């Protein structure tokens, strides 16, 4: 059984990747199902958090490799600002 089948069967599970950037910012990605009356798909939704507030929402990506590249690019942009 793959992850999509498992998540659909059990419904309450989720997979996420979180990276703490500093004491204020973190970036988090969650793998979830997107659907409406016209389509259904799975993807990684990624948010940049400023404490408990969403500061930015990124485009959905579809692989773990893309999630890690996104997290890395956000961290690098913070490093370059300092």
Task: Give residue 7's pLDDT.
Answer: 66
Q: Is residue 7 part of a domain?
A: no
pLDDT digits (tens, 9 = 90+) for 50-80: 999 999 999 999 999 999 999 999 999 998 8
Number of domains the chain is built from: 1
Residues of the domain holding 38:
16-81
| Tokens linked to 43 | 């993807």
Q: Is residue 2 part of a domain?
A: no
Q: Is residue 67 part of a domain?
A: yes
Q: Is residue 3 part of a domain?
A: no
Q: What is the DSSP string of 14-71?
A: -EEEEEE-SSSEEEEEEEEEEE-SS-EEEEEEEEEEETTEEEEEPPPB-SHHHHHHHH
This prediction's pTM: 0.78
Q: Is residue 31 part of a domain?
A: yes
């Amino acid at each position: 059984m793959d992850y999509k089948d498992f998540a659909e069967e059990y419904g309450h599970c989720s997979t996420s990747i979180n990276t703490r950037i500093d004491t204020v910012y973190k970036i988090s990605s969650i793998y979830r199902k997107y659907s409406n009356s016209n389509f259904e798909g799975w993807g990684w939704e990624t948010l940049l958090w400023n404490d408990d507030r969403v500061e930015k929402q990124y485009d959905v990506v579809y692989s773990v490799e893309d999630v890690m590249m996104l997290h890395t690019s956000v961290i690098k942009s913070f490093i370059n600002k300092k």
